[in-house]
């Protein structure tokens, strides 16, 4: 069994959260398609490179890297057994033979030293219990001069795809905002804090590109409502509600989503940092 030190996130992702992502894989990948495109462009994977994908999930970005590194190798790492099973199936269906998926906690996983030319992550590096230790361990897997390219969410208030749902589901409640640096979706939202983590972990030339990218909930309001109910943040906001309150909250959410319906579907703004650095 792989060593796991980030037990809270392992329980979350190797459980309900990972299972729900698998069920909604196509919708999540579509919602994050613009983010994936910008990440892959920044990574600029060459045909003979070795790539490490941290928090690879069901493997969309891993497969994209493998398609580029046709003479190289790609390793995807994640905490979710269900997501990794789906990732292996998708890679097999795509005929990719240069990709491997393993379950592990990137903070302590025994990566082969100086193996990777490139490390990528699409929203997979914000959940570490000890982010400095995690990036130190990831750095050991990188060759001298190897490249890091990751996308992470900026602060919660900057992300319309979250704030619209939160406002709709609040029902007068004073909802908490995650503290900076707390493991979770917004764990690396503070640019200065994130820069300090990378510097202490031995990375240089860190650059933060401020991106505003579309996040699609679906082609229409009904599809968006179904999709929204499966998002972890939305499910968490509904957990404390029952009966009439829950029904009221869902009606308010449906109305909020319908108000954003357009010819392009139900699309919200998202704000992310595209972080690049060198080991």
All domains in the chain, ordered by first residue: 7-155+179-216+269-278 (3.40.50.150)
* pLDDT score of 6: 87
* pLDDT score of 1: 61
pLDDT tens-place string over residues 15-72? 988 998 999 999 999 999 999 999 999 999 999 999 999 999 999 999 999 999 999 9
172 pLDDT above the threshold of 90: no
% of residues, the chain, pLDDT over 70:
100
pLDDT tens-place string over residues 198-237? 999 999 999 999 999 999 999 999 999 999 988 888 888 8
What's the predicted TM-score (pTM) here? Answer: 0.95
Q: What is the 3-state secondary structure (H, E, C) of the chain?
A: CCCCCCHHHHHHHCCHHHHHHHHCHHHHHHHCHHHHHHHHHHHCCCCCCEEEEECCCCCHHHHHHHHHCCCCEEEEEECCHHHHHHHHHHHHHCCCCCEEEEECCCCCCCCCCCCEEEEEEECCCCCCCCHHHHHHHHHHCEEEEEEEEEEEECCHHHCHHHHHHHHHHCCCCCCCCCCCCCCCCCCCCCHHHHHHHHHHCCCEEEEEEEEEEEEEEECCHHHHHHHHCCCHHHHHHHCCCCHHHHHHHHHHHHHHHHCCEECCEEEEEEEEEEEEEEC
125 pLDDT above the threshold of 80: yes
Q: How confident is the model at residue 196 (pLDDT cuts 50, 70, 90)?
A: very high
* pLDDT score of 57: 97
């Amino acid at each position: 069994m792989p060593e796991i030190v980030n037990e809270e996130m392992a329980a979350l992702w190797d459980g309900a959260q990972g299972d729900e992502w698998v069920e909604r894989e196509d919708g999540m990948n579509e919602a994050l398609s613009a983010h994936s495109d910008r990440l892959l462009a920044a990574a600029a994977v060459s045909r003979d490179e070795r790539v490490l994908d941290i928090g690879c999930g069901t493997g969309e970005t891993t497969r994209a890297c493998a398609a580029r590194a046709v003479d190289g190798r790609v390793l995807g790492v994640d905490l979710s057994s269900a997501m990794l099973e789906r990732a292996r199936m998708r890679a097999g269906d795509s005929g990719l033979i240069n990709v491997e998926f393993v379950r592990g906690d990137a903070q302590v996983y025994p990566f082969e030293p100086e193996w990777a030319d490139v490390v990528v992550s699409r929203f997979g590096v914000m959940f570490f219990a000890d982010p400095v230790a995690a990036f130190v361990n990831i750095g050991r897997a990188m060759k001298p001069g190897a490249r890091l390219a990751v996308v992470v969410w900026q602060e919660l208030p900057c992300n319309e795809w979250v704030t619209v749902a939160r406002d709709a589901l609040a029902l007068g409640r004073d909802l908490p905002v995650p503290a900076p640096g707390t493991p979770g979706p917004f764990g690396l939202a503070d640019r200065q804090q994130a820069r300090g983590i990378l510097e202490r972990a031995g990375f240089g030339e860190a650059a933060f590109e401020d991106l505003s990218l579309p996040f699609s909930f679906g082609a229409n309001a009904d599809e968006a409502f179904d999709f929204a109910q499966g998002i972890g943040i939305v499910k968490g906001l509904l957990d404390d509600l029952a009966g009439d309150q829950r029904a009221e909250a869902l009606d308010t959410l449906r109305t909020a989503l319908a108000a954003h319906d357009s010819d392009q579907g139900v699309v919200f703004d998202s704000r992310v940092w595209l972080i690049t650095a060198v080991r």
